[in-house]
Amino acid sequence: MTFEFESIISGNFTLINYSKMRLAMAQKKLLQLRSDIRAHYLTNEAAAVHKLIDDLDLLEEVRNRIVDQAVVLVEELRRADSPGVMETFLGEYGLTTEEGVALMCLAEALLRVPDEITMDALISDKIAPADWSKHLGHSSSPLVNASTWGLLLTGKVIHPLAGGSLDVVGQLRKLVKRVGEPVIRTAVSQSMKVLGHQFVVGRDIQEAMSRARGMEKKGYTYSYDMLGEAARTAEDAQRYFMAYSKAISSISEHSSNTDSRNNPGISVKLSALHPRYEYTQKKRVLDELVPRLSSLVFQAKNANMGFNIDAEEADRLDLSLDIIEAVLASPDLKGWDGLGVVVQAYGPRAAYVLDWLYALSKRLDRKIMVRLVKGAYWDTEIKLAQVMGYEGYPVFTRKAATDVSYLACAKKLLSMTDHIYPQFATHNAHSIAAILDMADEVDNFEFQRLHGMGEGLHDLVMARNKNRCRIYAPVGVHEDLLAYLVRRLLENGANSSFVNQVLDEKVPPQRVVRDPVAMILSYPTIENDKIPLPSALYG
């Protein structure tokens, strides 16, 4: 009896020691992965891209098959009755047109014009010289034609000459002399509001959810984003916290499905919840932001809805991972699969972040969501690195490299579905075709698109493949709207953007969905030789 008892005790001690050893090994692995992430903040871009191509490991014949599948999607999209608002708009006002450039300059500058005199000068400079009349009636979209009138300072103000041609510039100059700059200023501001509201689902969460019902009937789910910039003061942070909390309460009323993946969710910016969300304030941020974020997370968990932590600037990534680990470690979250993390593929660290998230979810025995995006702050990251004089950039300097990174990360995520629910946010037919090809028989993932963008493409994919699709839906008033609108227009208005090219019949479908691996390898250098390294900017 004594021997048996001692054997049981000895066995228990062995089991306990083994468990401790496994935890120690798992923690050591996490620390090593964090070290890998930090080591690739400013890395050799060419080496990083070649490693991603090796990790992607797609034969040329497979890549050609993916391009063929993507071409079919583009051709179907061009035949569709409603390809999408953004695609149609950029078909008229892309950055290849003088009017498109004028519009971008105007929208971007309106965000920070300090006084009315400067605003009047800006309007005169950007609007008056542009030939908006050539866009009238060209688009198949009534919205775009209406927007053209809005950019002519609305149809209520400018009318075609009876029986004559429309001399827009001449009429505009006469109008300015007749009614004065304040009227024009108001009209331009109003036209930008009208345009912006096509890409924001509602002014508040109630309006947004009401407007979302139509798409929900088509099978879409939603992730709501409360628009706003980073908190500058403690009062700002408290206001944003209350806005998130109220939004979660409202969304929870519509979260009736037992599977959190089928319920609406919310996206949260950490910079909105703390005025000093920066690495130099790490201890304070962990002490103050972690409890604040945890409160919102528990609220979402009780509603069984999704809660995504948005990605922001590259220099905040390391701190965000500390916060995510601290929140996810709470034993109260066990059994809930709704916590999500956004990862930006335009950074060389993206694949290493995925490895760390997977290892963390395994160690904590959690299931999480990961939204893979290409990245929304590229120009900011380039400029910040140049200002700081870094030895390299924290983002890839060619779009094709970002596309390769996105596909490599997507392949990695599809191998992690035992602990991670992948969410692929993209409006690119090639990316979608590649994911569907790589997924094979894996169906535990979803696609995502922005409200006002990619509707036609995602409708096709949902109809053909029965994939889940979620709409990322911004919610906010005009003051917060313009910053969001400008970012969307700039990132999708570039000549190389899929959204910009997809409806342009002059661009062959094969060119719109080119293989990013072949494209990046065709350049004389992997890194963009037109963008000097920050440290060599004045060399």
Full DSSP string of 427-479: --HHHHHHHHHHHTT----EEEEETTSSHHHHHHHHHHH--EEEEEEEE--HH
Residue 392: phi, psi to the nearest 5? -160, -170
Q: Across 8-17, 180-189, 204-213, which has the greatest mean pLDDT?
A: 204-213
pLDDT exceeds 70 at position 93 = no
Interatomic CA distance for residues 522 and 516, integer angstroms: 10
Contact status, residue 136 vs residue 145, Cβ threshold 8 Å: yes
Q: What pLDDT score was predicted for residue 1?
A: 53
The stretch 379-397 carries a mean pLDDT of 94
Distances (CA, A) of 341 to 205, 304, 382: 22, 16, 23
Give me the mean pLDDT over the 192-212 stretch.
81
Secondary structure element (H or E) that encloses residue 222, with its range: strand 221-226
The pLDDT score that the predictor gives to residue 202 is 87
Name the residue with higher pLDDT: 130 or 465. Answer: 465
539 vs 466, residue with greater confidence: 466
Q: Which of 83-87, 448-452, 479-483 has the highest mean pLDDT?
A: 448-452
Compute the average pLDDT of residues 259-287.
94
**Range with lowest mean pLDDT among 7-21, 39-53, 371-385, 403-417:** 7-21
Tell me the two tokens of residue 50.
């070649």
Q: What is the mean pLDDT of residues 466-482?
A: 81
Cα 239 from Cα 423, distance rounded (Å): 29
- Return the higher-pLDDT residue of 518 and 505: 518
What HEC string does 185-221 produce?
A: HHHHHHHHHHHHCCCCCECCHHHHHHHHHHHHHCCCE
> Higher model confidence: residue 165 or residue 472?
472
pLDDT score recorded for residue 108: 58
425 membership: H or E segment, kind and range: strand 420-425
Name residues whose C-beta falls within 8 Å of residue 454's C-beta, 6 or more positions apart in sequence: 84, 86, 87, 426, 427, 499
- Phi and psi angles of residue 224, each rounded to the nearest 5 degrees, phi first: -90, 140
| Separation CA 310–CA 316 (nearest Å) | 11
- In this prediction, residue 512 carries a pLDDT of 84
**pLDDT digits 0-9 by tens, 347-375:** 999 999 999 999 999 999 999 999 999 99
| 154-158, 257-261, 532-536: segment of lowest average pLDDT | 154-158
The answer to whether the Cα torsion of 283, 289, 292, 298 is positive or negative is: negative
Confidence grade of residue 109 (pLDDT, cut at 50, 70, 90)? low
pLDDT at 352: 98
Task: Work out the percent of the chain whose per-residue pLDDT is above 90.
Answer: 54
pLDDT at 179 over 60: no
For 232, other C-beta atoms within 10 Å of its C-beta total 11
The reported pLDDT for the residue numbered 157 is: 36
Percent of residues in the chain assigned helix, strand, coil, to nearest 5: 60, 10, 30
In the structure, what pLDDT confidence band is assigned to residue 500 with cuts at 50, 70 and 90? low
Number of other CB atoms surrounding residue 532 within 10 Å: 13
More confident of the two residues 149 and 83:
83
Across the range 460-478, mean pLDDT stands at: 87
Q: Which range has highest mean pLDDT (3-12, 78-87, 123-132, 455-464)?
A: 455-464
State residue 169's pLDDT score. 47
3-state secondary structure of 309: strand
**Which residue in this structure is represented by tokens 């939603």?**
222
What letter does residue 508 receive in the DSSP assignment?
-
**Among 170-184, 352-366, 396-410, where is mean pLDDT lowest?**
170-184
End-to-end CA, the chain = 83
Tokens of 461: 């994919």
Q: Which residues, other chains included, contact 131 with Cβ-Cβ below 8 Å and sequence gap of 6+? A: 98, 99, 168, 169
φ, ψ (nearest 5 deg) of residue 368: -130, 170
pLDDT of 176 above 60: no
Distance CA 413, CA 330 (A): 24
- Mean pLDDT across the chain: 82
Residue 84 has a pLDDT of 58
Segment 116-170, tens digit of pLDDT? 677 666 666 655 555 555 555 555 444 444 444 444 443 333 334 444 444 544 5
Q: What is the DSSP string of 331-387?
A: GGGTT---EEEEEETTSTTHHHHHHHHHHHHHHHT--EEEEEE--S-HHHHHHHHHH
Confidence tier at 94 by pLDDT (50, 70, 90): low
The whole-number pLDDT of residue 97 equals: 58
Q: Are 5 and 12 in contact (CB under 8 A)?
A: no
* Rounded CA separation 232/432 (Å): 38
**pLDDT value at residue 140:** 47
Per-residue pLDDT of 282-315, as tens digits, reads 999 999 999 999 999 999 999 999 999 999 999 9
Gyration radius of the chain over CA positions? 25
In this prediction, residue 399 has a pLDDT band, given cuts at 50, 70 and 90, of: very high
Amino acid symbol at 380: T
C-alpha to C-alpha distance for 308 and 267, rounded to whole angstroms? 5
**What pLDDT does 480 receive?**
65
Q: How confident is the model at residue 346 (pLDDT cuts 50, 70, 90)?
A: very high
Answer whether residue 86 shows pLDDT above 60.
no
Enumerate residues 6+ apart whose C-beta is below 8 A from 269.
228, 230, 310, 312
